[in-house]
Structure 1
């Protein structure tokens, strides 16, 4: 087991301050100033030199995540034009897609804004629900709340799956994933937090039930990722475990406990201990992208976003009063890793998406989709230090 508390004794308050300054002074301003196409679309990513990748296809989930990001930045007073930025994205989606239901958009467009993947995707829908919740919270946007209502009705109508949960989308697939359901859990909890409408908490309860009965593997103390239509483990991908998602579930479960008082700590501590046991590269103390339930390394690369989930999980468990680990030191370490290993030293406004097996930068592009993760870690860190 990696003894982080013995190796590192970072000052959490200082780490949070540096992280806050990096996002506020460098990262977010760059996305605000240069993160849009001429037609209002949020760009897919920045290249290593800081220029927008104008040739990249546009994943529709990125538009939703950036709606969230600019709402969050407005909430913290980092920007004053959040409504205008969100409206640019909204106008782009209206102009370039054929959807009559907000949030129920085609999965992807090419660089010229032609729809290339017309199916609707559950993962995308989850992030539009999250974005609508934040738009309502920050801007008192009643239209966004109405959009959320219309979108969940459409999800129920078209994507409700057999044997609980929802289908992957409007396209047939032999594999079902926990990941879209995890993000629906997040969106439902967010909408309940901001509206206090019990229907959203009821939907979250459905996701919690899936976690207990399907996703959580009690024997191995891991979260399973890939399933067949009947929620049995997929024969080809069922062995894959993502440490980052396990950390993400810890934070979400603690959020669910906050609203329901449902006992979840036994799940959270089991998951955390297992991530530390099987999911950490001991040379650099960063999280592997994929491992097996027994700790076999399946992908020795390490993306940026799992470290943000480590921050959230550690601080949530510290708040809960668990003393299994020195969670504050773990969170401070994860923040410092984000500020050092995943910060682009040539262009500090950018982050590095992925490290290789040797813990050196492998992918120096900065995807827009990662900004959501960075900001969610900021939210938990700021909440923790008060």
Structure 2
């Protein structure tokens, strides 16, 4: 049996930083132990900023990170974060998901944001891969996403916030690729492919720049209304490569040129 190649020095250093510095901080000081939630932020001394409102997507993001830890206690913490957010994040009357909660964890809105829901799907995918039963949660998140589905892509929010952005679709692409890795469901693959097609058709220019903002019909905005964020382009390169590795399907994007 061939032994795995050792990590490059930079990758080994990052892994050590995550294990010895980042995860201990955010699984201890970063957790509101009274409620199985994460604080929105810490100060420079590592103390929680208790008076801040909290984004629900932060709960999902940390659940996703913790789900991928080799430590079963950290994975269990990720599951508790995810469970609380899924249980309390949706308005029971409307079914809409809140983007923000107050410092005492009361829902503040019914934004039902595509960006937030994408991170819920990503957390569910990795918690499922860690062995937790996420089937009911996947069904609920799929229903929540269906409320935002448009003729091409997904609406930003329940109120159809403008302009349209590529970034929530990028994270939905990431989430659906991860979910397909778990479920092998053709519907999840189709959603990932649809996000990929949107970027190829509308957001990636011929000279390999990534456009950020669009009109409702996906016409790119111009001038000061448009932006280019190299970090998002780097994310697309990584995620397109993960899509190929996960599905065996070439992304069709000119990754070497990007």
**TM-score relative to the length of structure 1:** 0.60
Instruction: Indicate the residue corresponding to 1:223 in structure 2.
Output: 210
Q: More displaced, 104-113 or 28-37?
A: 104-113
Paired residues, what number?
251
> In the alignment, is the contact (CA less than 8 A) between 2:67 and 2:74 conserved in 1?
no
Q: Distance in 1 between matches of 2:73 and 2:8?
A: 27
What aligned pairs does 1:159-198 form with structure 2 within 5 A after superposition?
159-162=148-151, 164-198=152-186
Q: Which runs of 5+ in 2 are unaligned?
A: 1-5
Secondary structure of 1:120's counterpart equals: coil
User: Is residue 251 from structure 1 mapped to residue 238 from structure 2 by the alignment?
Assistant: yes
Match of 1:40 among 36, 61, 73: 36
- Counterpart CA distance in 2 for 1:67 and 1:167 is 25
Give the superposition deviation at 1:84: 4.1
Indicate which of 67, 82, 87 corresponds to 1:94. 87
Greater Cα radius of gyration, structure 1 or 2: 1
State whether residues 40 and 92 of structure 1, in contact with CA within 8 Å, keep that contact through their aligned partners in structure 2: no
Aligned 8 A contact 2:63 2:77 in 1: no
Instruction: Deviation per CA, 1:26-73: give whole Å up to 9, x if none.
Output: 110111112122222111111111111111111110011011111112
| Bigger RCO of structures 1 and 2 (CA < 8 A, at least 6 apart) | 1
CA distance in 2, matches of 1:72, 1:88: 14
**2-side partners of 1:235 and 1:166: how far apart?**
21
Instruction: Specify whether residues 250 and 88 from structure 1 end up closer, same or farther in structure 2 by C-alpha distance, changes over 3 A only.
Output: closer
In structure 2, distance between residues paired with 1:17 and 1:98: 43
Deviation at 1:256, TM superposition (A): 2.2
CA-to-partner distance for each residue in 1:232-274, whole Å, 9 max, x for gaps? 112465431000000000011112223143253x611121xxx
The residue aligned with 1:16 is 11
Secondary structure in 1 matching 2:108: strand
CA shift, 1:200, in A, is 1.0
The answer to whether the Cα contact below 8 Å between 1:44 and 1:59 also exists between their aligned partners in 2 is: yes
Which structure shows the bigger proportion of residues in strand conformation? 1
1:135 corresponds, among 120, 123, 127, to: 127
1:94 is paired with a residue whose SS is helix
Measured on the aligned residues, the alpha-carbon RMSD in Å equals: 2.3
**Residue aligning to 1:80:** 73
